[in-house]
Amino acid sequence: MKLIDLNEQYSRLKSRIDRRVQAVLSDGQYIMGPEVSEFEGKFSQYIGVNHVVGCANGTDALQLALMAIGVKPGDAVFVPSFTFVASAEVIALLGATPVFVDVLYDSYSIDPESLSTAISKVRKVKKLQPKAVVAVDLFGIPADYDRLNEICVHNQLVLIEDAAQGIGGSYHDRKLGSVADIAATSFFPSKPLGCYGDGGAVLTDKKEYAEIIRSLSLHGKNKEKYDNIRVGVNSRLDTLQAAILLEKLTIFDQELKIKEHISERYRAELSDDYVMPLIPQYSRSAWAICTLRCSNRNSAISKLKKNNIASAIYYPKCLHQQDAFRYNSLIPVDLSQSETASREVFSIPMHPYLSESDISLVISVLNSV
């Protein structure tokens, strides 16, 4: 049993996806073909955000968001330590300083208290200027955007949402991808909405940001080609990937409902040894990944393995513990919840093509550990 089964999904959509792909191949507009803007339009409507700019992957999407707000050396950008490396990597790549912040015990998202503490600590460091916050919808679970927006407005920081795992989730009446100043997402195959290769998008309500991001993604071009007004990158969503995403978007809500049903069964039937994540009130998780915590995860993982059930650890090491970020001990923030999470979490199968008996098997194997 796989964690996420992409083959089953393809079998279901095969004729429609094949037709779409064939149309792109025959048409020949492999770069910026009509499917790209068709997808950007449909996706912006689905999320409820004014502008979507497709790009090459989720990491580029984050980088483009940070470039658009002018992140530069000397800037401090706050980011949780318990997340995928891309969330912090792009900050360092632009020469700015990632300042690691702790996460909440039960929802794994950035802890607003820890963020406030980190901001006041950075304010005391002369050579650093607080600039932005990257909040991550880890595993699909929304961060506390009301409080984060409040903290960001108060401190004049830009709020960036790393929604790579959040598409499909929601916070109050807004879909994830539309709850911060700028959001970045990924269409990596195993993400909630995935293509068949790399892909990503930047989302924002602000026209000024969208225009800069579009320009940056196309080598910093002005209205005309070969008129470059800023130093940009080459990061586009492939026409083939956009064509595939258009078909997948049509069944996306239905798939999400099934994942919610699976999560309810896990929550109701797994024993108390396993802690399911807390989905904050008035929120919906995208159920990108189903992560449990358990004081003895190794036994659980090996029992699953014996029964041919896949599992994984997202993530076994916090970012402040990675060699790549060792230099970053400048700002001492308590990161103990991140460290505990990295020792206790493991993830179990979660995808819309699990049968009721698959779900029962996962539950009984885990409960027998």
Residue the block writes with tokens 């037709």: 19
Separation of alpha carbons 95 and 162, rounded Å: 19
Q: How many CB atoms lie within 10 A of CB 351?
A: 21
The DSSP output letter for 320 is G
Q: Residue type at 334?
A: D
User: Min. distance of Cβ 188 from ligand PLP in angstroms?
Assistant: 4
User: Min. distance of Cβ 183 from ligand PLP in angstroms?
Assistant: 11
* CA–centroid distance for 298 within its chain: 26
User: By C-beta, is 86 or 286 nearer to ligand PLP?
Assistant: 86
User: By C-beta, is 5 or 198 nearer to ligand PLP?
Assistant: 198
Q: How many CB atoms lie within 10 A of CB 167?
A: 29
User: By C-beta, is 161 or 365 nearer to ligand PLP?
Assistant: 161
User: Min. distance of Cβ 161 from ligand PLP in angstroms?
Assistant: 10
User: Min. distance of Cβ 39 from ligand PLP in angstroms?
Assistant: 16
User: By C-beta, is 198 or 238 nearer to ligand PLP?
Assistant: 198
Contact 63, 192 (CB under 8 A): no
Q: Which residue is nearest to ligand PLP (CB)?
A: 58
Contact footprint for ligand PLP (CB under 6 A)? 57-59, 83-84, 86-87, 136, 162, 164-165, 186, 188, 198, 200
CA dihedral (204, 209, 212, 214) in degrees, to 10, reads 10
Nearest CA-CA partner of 197 in 243, 246, 163, 241? 241
User: Min. distance of Cβ 102 from ligand PLP in angstroms?
Assistant: 16
User: By C-beta, is 136 or 345 nearer to ligand PLP?
Assistant: 136
Cite the beta strand spans of 56-178 per DSSP E. Answer: 75-80, 97-101, 129-136, 158-162, 170-171, 174-175
User: Min. distance of Cβ 136 from ligand PLP in angstroms?
Assistant: 5
Nearest CA-CA partner of 117 in 340, 337, 342, 345? 337
User: By C-beta, is 56 or 122 nearer to ligand PLP?
Assistant: 56
